[in-house]
Structure formats: structure tokens, C-alpha cells
Structure 1
Amino acid sequence: MAKTSVNKEAFDESAYEHANRQMRLVKEEWHQDAISVLAREVVRRLAFRMPRADGPEALPTASDIELLCAALLSADEKAADQFILAARRDGVSPAAISGGYVAGAARKLGEMWDDDRISFIDVTLACGKLYRIIRGLRHILAPAITEGRETRPALFALVPGETHTLGIEIATDFFRREGWEVDMLVGLDHDALLEEADRRHYQAIVLVANSDRMMEPLTRLSLALRITQPLAHIIVAGSILDHHPDILNLVGAEAVMADLETAVATLRELLGKPAV
């Protein structure tokens, strides 16, 4: 099999470390039930939403998946990273990495968890490792994930369970009057929102939440969007910013929109667009 280079440009160290920091914070600050919900979200999105490999010859064997799961469950923090990067260097395609290795390992971990063959702690650690790997490889995996989608500059989405819609409606209207082609999603549950968002490839996604009780749904939504929209910038807006000074790291976002006066400049800076 031909060798493939995995250089610093291909592997996003910043996104990898950001994901690692987020998972560490979640485990430190959240109770077990909330962490379990996040772990199952990782399993679901990686196992069933990633693209399939091109052909059977590119798919990993059952033995490959067993070895990857063993690496994910081992005490060696870098074992799974090295396994996936070695497969990539050996010429395994991005589609086979995501649809074969990563998806296969996620399904296997889910089965082992449901059958009580691994503990809650084991599966959360393994899911955290899988999540940071796909974040590190996001530039490699993104084309297969977003293939065929129309590219749009931004999506404004109200976090499921949030009932205050006036703020997001004002913000969306403000951006449209400023000449931005932005979409808005409100009133949808978690899965429906993700299904709608997946119809397009967004450069930025603004998640709006107001009440403190929205922190867990917000983080779950951000994590899922990181998997299904690997290149999108995640931005947090709304009154929830007043309650969580460390919200960027916990949610895994790049920026906040604290007010309309600076909102356009914030989005322009993230997207590298010049002022008009």
C-alpha cells in the first residue's frame, strides 16, 4: 500500500488540543449522567453519521477494529492516535478512516458498553480519544463528510429547549440587513436541528442560549456539530455568557457574540472576510 504523508498542515494540533481540553473539563465539572449523554452522542455521531468507505477492500478487518479499541481503552494516551496516523501514513483513505476505522470502533465501543463489558469510565475515556482524533484530522476527513453540500456563511441556531426566540430573531435580521446570507433554526429538537444543519456546509454556526440550564444541551449540540460540520467555527451567543466565564473551553467554541455592536466584526474576523 502506498505511503501517505501526514504533516503538520494535515493534522490540526490546535483542534486536537482544544478537543482534549474540552473533554477534560467536562469530566472535571459535570456529573456522571451528563457525561454519559455526551459519550453516547460521540458514539452515535461517529458510528452512524460518518461516511462509508469506498469499497470493501478499503475497510478494516474485525481484527483491526479490535486493535483500535484496545488502543482506545489502554492507559497509553497516544496509542489510538498512533494507530490511526499509522493507517493514514500507510495510504488508508480518509473515507476508510472515518467510515471504517473510526465508525467501526465507535460501534464496537457502544456494543461493549451496552453489554457491560467495559465500564462507564472506560467508554468515556475512549470516546474522548476518538473525538480528539477526528478533530485533529478534520481537514483530511471534512471533504468526505461535507461532499455535495452547499456552502453557506453562517447558521444561527437556538439550542433545543431554549424558549426565548426574540434575541436570535433580532440577530439574524441584523446580519441579513448587513448583507449576510444567513440561515436560522429555532424550535427544533436536538436530532431535527442536526439533520437540518447537515443539509449545508456552514463556515460558522452561532449557538444561542440564555438560561443557565441550557449549558448541557448547548455542549452536546456543539460536540455533535463538531463531528458533522468539522470545519465550521462554533460561536456562542445569548445571556448564558453571563453565567459561565469559561464557556469557550467547556463548549468547545472559538468565539462569543456578546452584543450586536461587535457581532459582525467577530464573524468577519473568524471567516477572514474583509470589512466592507
Structure 2
Amino acid sequence: MTDVNEQSFSAGSATDTASPRRPKSLRQRLPTPIWRFRPSLQPVAVVRTIKTQIIPKIVLALRSTPIAKPAANTEQAAPTEIEMFAALALGADDGAAFAYVVDLQAKGVSVETIFLDLLAPAARQLGAQWESDTTDFASVTLAVGRLQFIMHRLGDSFVQEASDGHSGESALLTIIPGDQHSFGLSMVAEFFRRAGWNLCTGPFSSHQELTSLVHNHWFDIVGFSVSSDRRLDELKKDIHDIRRDSRNRQVGIILGGPMIIAQPDLVASMGADMMSADAISAPQQAHGLIEQMKGRT
């Protein structure tokens, strides 16, 4: 495909190949002034011509001209609070995002609201920026690390907000060994801690480390956060071997995360017992599953 310059050059080349013409003199090249062929007009005739010919044509032209629409607003929409907070997490100031959260707390915003309506959406925003190649992996990793730091700093306050909770149950919460997306897991773990659970959290370096842990320690529940379909075969093997080797022969297996929400049928195909769609209800759902597992004995 040629551009305008190439097309112009080609047209010029074609003209160059034609037989040369004898150059005209300067007088020959200048057109004869048009006013030389028209008789002079008297003032009355000029006025008549303006009234009867020129003005009607101008009016007609104005009537037929479409009304120009206001130019579309090309300004970008103002960034949302989530986008601004994600930008703070990505910024050069290591403490800017945390300072923003402290200010929200001072205004009376609960830690639960900060977790669910700020940190979690900001993490999704960062993930979307990475997937769209607008932010590089290193920057997203740094920003998510700052979000996790904020979450851990608020953990004690979050536990104090709890009105009640179950005590004594134990859970192992992890991602599939080798996966990298652990922010959602950390969020769910905070809700389990607030509900009074004894927790062991991943990620773990290998399948063997995971299965050895459930073999040597009692867990009522094992929960996996699944972010994509890249390691489903490994997940299925993890669940199978956990059931085979677990010290608790009635251990309950819960799946959660974006992939499970998108494809809930994976719960059955992976060999798990149930799914959890959100961090708030996960501890209560896990407690209910324990009661169900006891009824199977």
C-alpha cells in the first residue's frame, strides 16, 4: 500500500514520461483577466444584481447548510477512586496508598469496607492493567505487594470488628502450587481469622509440601483459590492426594476464586465438595461443610 507521497510521486513520473512541450512565455501562461470580457455596471444595476441574485443565493445557502453539532467531549472521564488508589499503589511514594487508607479510617470507614470496596477492586484493576499491557509485571507485583502490606497492617483492627465467630476449626488455605496470584487468598484468610479459625496459609512450593502438611497436621477444611485454568490438572491431583493422605479422613475441600465463579462446574470435576463465591460468606460456608462431613461418617 502506497502513501500519499508515493502516489504523488508516481503521478509525477507518469507526466515526466510524456513528450516534452515547448515552454510558454510568461505572458502566454497568464490567463486573461476575466473583467476584460464584462461590460462595466452602473450603480443602479449593481444594487439590483445584489438584491435579485446574490442575496437570494446567500440566503438559500444558509438555509441548506446543516447546523453544526457541538463537538463531542473528547476529554477523558475523571478517574474513579479505585483507579486513583491503584495509581497510588503504583507510584514512587511507598507509603502513599497506606496514608490514603489511614485517612479513610479517620473518616470512619470500616476495615471491612476498605478490604472489599477498595483493596479488592484495586487488585483487580492492577490485574486488568497488566493483562492489557498498560502496566508491566514488575510494577503490578510491587503495587499488589503494597496492597497486601496494607491488608496485614489492618488485620488486627479487622479481627476486632468481629461480633462473634467459631473457635477451634482449622483450615489450610492456599493457591495451586506454582501459581502466582495470592492476593485473593490473603483477603479470604483475613475473614477466616476474624471468624476465629486456626489458619495455615500458602502458597506452598510444591505438591509434596502440600500433601505432607495435610498428612502431618489436622485440618477440617482445605481451601484453594483458583485464578485461571492453567493448572487445573495439578489442582485435581492435589485434591485427590489430599483426600488420600489427609490425617483427617473427612476433610472438606472448598474451591473459590475467579475461575470457579466463572465455571462452577469445576467443583465437581475437580473432586471438591463446594465452592465459595466471596470472602464474607466463606467462613460460614466452611463451618457448614464441616457439619456435613461429620454426617457422612
Query: Which structure ranks higher in relative contact order (CA pairs < 8 Å, sequence separation ≥ 6)?
Result: 1
- Asked if these proteins are the same fold (TM beyond 0.5), I'd say no
Larger Rg: 2
Q: Shorter-chain TM-score category?
A: 0.3 to 0.5
Which TM-score applies when normalising by structure 2?
0.39
Which TM-score applies when normalising by structure 1?
0.42
